[in-house]
Amino acid sequence: MNVPTAQQIIVMGASAGGVNAILELASVLPRDFPAPVLFVQHIGAHPSELWKLVSARGPNKAVTAADGDLPRPGMIHIAPPDHHMLLEENVIRLSRGPKEHHARPAIDPLFRSAALQYGPRVIGVVLTGMLDDGSAGLRAIKRCGGTAVVQDPADAFAPSMPQSALACVAADHVVPLAALGPLLYELASRPAPALPVPFDPPATLQQEHAVTLGQHPVENLRAISQPSIFSCPDCSGVLSELNDRHPVRFLCHTGHAFSLRSLAHAQEQVTDAAVWSSLRALQEKEMLLRRLAQVHGPQLQQHGRAALREADELASICAMLRKLIEKTPDPGDFNASA
């Protein structure tokens, strides 16, 4: 494990409400902020010019991270669309590796890689958002001696992510957004904590990170997990349940990762698509049967009547199935209530 530079580093992540949060934070961070800030916002593959908005809001420059960038004090590095942002060999690495929590960029990969590289010199920050991306990553930071900061859920636009983080991690600081800037400045201005010699992070974290990077995935996954009965919503492979159950998480050998909550949300979306596809197939069969009855005409009345009877039965089934689908909770309802 390479020894990181002597400076501290701040990693933070957000989902719903995160754009407003980072803009507000950027406006209060003082010029020449003493540590690099790496920020992940759930934006998927959509084009983004968030860096322009952040740069315009405060005195510290913001950039869309590029592969090979050196994290610099006073700079806000923002994960680009559809890429995980990682730390490796003291530089930023970008990856289109497997999604985590059905997201890319995701927060956990950044937090986990920062913990493995910087240990006690990492300050991890979980901001507003849905579900629980960031919880496992923040726990990794704590396990490696870093500092855990969580936005007060009562102050968050979407309290789920902060609540989940607090359920998994004994946070060092829980503050409203208005107090976060001064707190981060105070923490970043302190002398960087000494690194253990040698710096040897928990083996389970290193093995989990190796799986997500595609390094001996089967062997490493076997060492840290047990096979589950669930399949991966992203690749249909078998999911394994990690032995570390704080929080309960699942990983497939290709590297797709889910918490129990994000897996439930992803499966809800898969189920929603599947039942609508089933309804479409049944409706198409009904229409084909009616067309067959029409084509048979008076010469094949028996076959035509049979086709019409089956079509009528399918119409009844389709009506009942549609009512059941419309009563099924929407995936967004689960997300909002989580």
Q: Please report the DSSP string for 252-274 in residue order.
A: -TT--EEEHHHHHHHHHHHHHHH
Q: Which of 108, 133, 155, 234 is catalytic?
A: 133
Give the N- to C-terminal CA distance of the chain in Å, as an integer: 37
Active site residue 67: no
φ, ψ dihedrals at 126, nearest 5°: -100, 120
Region of 204 on the Ramachandran plot (φ > 0 left; ψ -120 to 50 alpha; else beta): alpha
DSSP-derived 3-state class of residue 38: strand
Active site residue 15: yes
> How far is the CA of 285 from the CAs of 99, 307, 327, in angstroms?
36, 10, 24
Q: Which of 15, 160, 164, 225 is catalytic?
A: 15
Question: Residue 292 is encoded by which pair of tokens?
Answer: 């067959």
Active site residue 209: no
Question: Residue 30 is encoded by which pair of tokens?
Answer: 């003082």
Question: Residue 305 is encoded by which pair of tokens?
Answer: 């009547």
Strand segments (E) across the chain: 9-14, 37-41, 61-64, 75-78, 84-88, 91-95, 122-126, 147-151, 173-175, 225-231, 238-242, 249-251, 257-259
Q: Residue 221 in contact with residue 215, Cβ under 8 Å?
A: no
User: Alpha carbon 14 to chain centroid distance?
Assistant: 9
Question: Residue 241 is encoded by which pair of tokens?
Answer: 């349940």
Q: Which of 42, 77, 83, 253 is catalytic?
A: 42
The rounded distance, in Å, linking the Cα atoms of 302 and 308 is 10
Which residues, in sequence order, are bridge partners of residue 257? 100, 251
DSSP-derived 3-state class of residue 193: coil
The rounded distance, in Å, linking the Cα atoms of 251 and 217 is 10
Amino acid in the structure at residue 215? Q
Give the catalytic positions in this structure: 15, 42, 133
